[in-house]
Amino acid sequence: MCRIAAYTGPEVPLENIIVHPRHSLLVQSQNATEAKLSVNGDGFGFAWYTQDRQPGLYRDVLPAWSDGNLVSLCRMIRSQLFIAHVRASTMGETARANCHPFGFDRWSFCHNGQVPHFRAIRRELEAALPDPLYEARQGSTDSEMLFLTMLANGLDRDPAAAIRATLDKVGPARSDGPVRMTCVFSDGETLYAFRHASDDHSPTLYASGRLDHGGYALASEPLCGRAAAWRALTPDTLYRLSPDGALTGEPLFEETRLIA
């Protein structure tokens, strides 16, 4: 499984989240503690926002710990909102086009998990994409297709409804195995996130309290290494995290219950 870290708040260098913390995303690329695979070496990437409405993207197929540019770029690039990802491939070859985050217009998107029956539904999902989104597709992963399908289903207008419509298109789990996903995405103003699984074992995601530099983070594993210091996010709930730290949750389904 992949690992994700995202930040919103005062402008900081990306290294504050990706490189420096005790259990940073760079550390998690080699030593994840809450995933089936401890090593995430099939590429990495990050998306960041400045005053431009569209995110900058940097992605590569090298393991995060092997890219000589990563630490330097994370020291030099400053942003008030960014999403980063290290990949352990479950669908699609190791190629730059398959590395996260994916971007379209003002949106950036990361996914951790898998749709095991993706090959069986791929043509149906492709056929449902409007031409601009179909033409935007570059890779072969279920992750990118989830992102484009969410956009096609109205992510700009109503993120919760777009997620529900996308999950309906993905359908229930088949004999290939359970559907599992944790997604973190942004329109450049707000961080969004949700967890979902057909077997109640969705990949982990946590929210921080106020960080030392005044911002807030979402991460697959607590960046300090201590789960008690972070809040585990409830599955089947769409979360919104604003730059002032306000974290709100909207149940995706009627039976969802938020953590107290």
Instruction: Evaluate whether residue 186 is within a structural domain.
Output: yes
Tokens of 230: 């972070």
Instruction: Evaluate whether residue 136 is within a structural domain.
Output: no
pTM of the model: 0.94
Instruction: Evaluate whether residue 51 is within a structural domain.
Output: yes
Is 244 exposed, middle or buried (CB count within 10 Å of its CB: 0-12, 13-18, 19+)? exposed
Instruction: Evaluate whether residue 143 is within a structural domain.
Output: no
Instruction: Evaluate whether residue 65 is within a structural domain.
Output: yes
Give catalytic residue positions. Answer: 2
List beta partners, residue 217: 7
- CB-based burial, 18-50: b 16+ in 10 Å, e otherwise: bbbbebbbbbbbeebebbeeeebbbbbbbbbbb
Instruction: Evaluate whether residue 137 is within a structural domain.
Output: no
Domain count, the chain: 1
Instruction: Evaluate whether residue 16 is within a structural domain.
Output: yes
What CATH number is given to the structural domain containing 185? Answer: 3.60.20.10
Instruction: Evaluate whether residue 220 is within a structural domain.
Output: yes
Q: What tens-digit pLDDT sequence spans the chain (260 residues)?
A: 799 999 999 999 999 999 999 999 999 999 888 887 788 888 999 999 998 889 999 999 989 999 989 999 999 999 999 999 998 766 657 789 999 999 999 999 999 999 999 999 999 999 999 999 999 999 999 999 999 999 999 999 999 999 999 999 999 888 889 999 999 999 999 999 999 999 989 999 999 999 998 999 999 999 998 888 899 999 999 999 999 999 999 999 986 544 43
Q: Which domain holds residue 109?
A: 3-113+180-251
Under DSSP, the state recorded for 43 is -
